[in-house]
Amino acid sequence: MARYRFHCTNGLECVFDARGADIRAAGRLSVRARRVAADVMQTLSDRTDWSEWRVSVHDLSGRRVLVQPFGQPVEDRSLAA
């Protein structure tokens, strides 16, 4: 298991993830990035244009391992019937 930080930015503004999250499989980074984007969009709900926002995922050494554009919020598949 590795810890990653999920920072969000539009190039001018940033939402930094100081704590990070433990991710068991690197293939799950994209799912977590979508959830982080959804949380930021909900927290900053007064905004309407998210087209320039990205989630930048970094390992603890600071190496960027994924950049993902904001998209539609991911549904919780564990609740889907």
Distance CA 31, CA 23 (A): 10
**Amino acid, single-letter form, for residue 10:** N
In the chain, the N- to C-terminal Cα span, in Å, equals: 29
Q: pLDDT (tens digit, 9 = 90+) per residue, 1-43?
A: 899 999 999 999 999 999 999 999 989 999 999 999 999 999 9
At 47-62, the pLDDT tens digits run 878 999 999 999 999 9
Domain boundaries, the chain: 2-69
